Amino acid sequence: MSVSGHASRVIFRLYYFYRGVRDLQLLEERILRDGKVRDGGVLKVDSFLNHQMDVRLFAEMAKEFHRLFGSENVSKILTIEASGIGIACICAQVFECPVIFAKKTKTKNIAGDVYTSKVESFTHGVTYDIIVSKEFIGPGDRVLIIDDFLANGAALTGLSQIVKDSGATLVGAGVAIEKAFQPGGKLLRSSGIRVESLAKIKSMEGGSVVFCQ
């Protein structure tokens, strides 16, 4: 490789590294500015992430997920209703693939066979079935899971089980916010699932958010 070619590759890698750092900082800064810590280990980010949605922020997050997983030939993005849908849709624009969202109740719109898995909600304290039609995912698909939060890992575990049952390939999971002080991330990674989180929270003691370095 020529000197100029090597220099170009170095510049390219540095650009994408610092762009990734910038995207991480954008989300962390937004959490510090607008996030609210509640009792019971709850972080409210509903003003920009999972109720009112900042689509421009989502676009920057999607670019970072694409930087991380863009070489994986993703053919489907899988999420769970309802909070993950917004981020997943913006990601799908960047990856140029469809979005599937697992439903929490079977409706008349879902005909035929389905994949199901049980998920325990940390936030709501309930267990429910999630459902994906077999029509939309199967062998040959390369699936990226996208979700807004990772705490105990129940939602991602349920989604990964559906991917496994379908015969598709799970390339990994992209998460907006990971509570690293809870066991979900460690459990998923130890099971062999690649998990990339844009903001990893070390603690929320005393109402203050501290990020992992």
**Domains held by the chain: number:** 1
* Domain enclosing residue 132, as ranges: 3-211
Torsion of CA 147, 149, 151, 152, to 10 degrees: -30
Asked if residue 178 lies in contact with residue 197, where contact means CB atoms within 8 angstroms, the answer is yes
Residue-by-residue pLDDT tens, the chain, 213 positions: 444 455 544 444 443 444 444 545 889 999 999 999 998 778 999 999 989 999 999 999 999 999 999 999 999 999 998 889 999 999 999 999 999 999 987 665 665 699 999 887 766 667 888 999 999 999 999 999 999 999 999 999 999 999 999 999 999 999 999 999 999 999 999 999 999 999 999 999 888 999 998
Q: What is the CATH number of the domain that holds 19?
A: 3.40.50.2020
Here the tokens at position 206 are 């005393």
pTM: 0.85
Cis amide leading into 176 (omega within 30): no
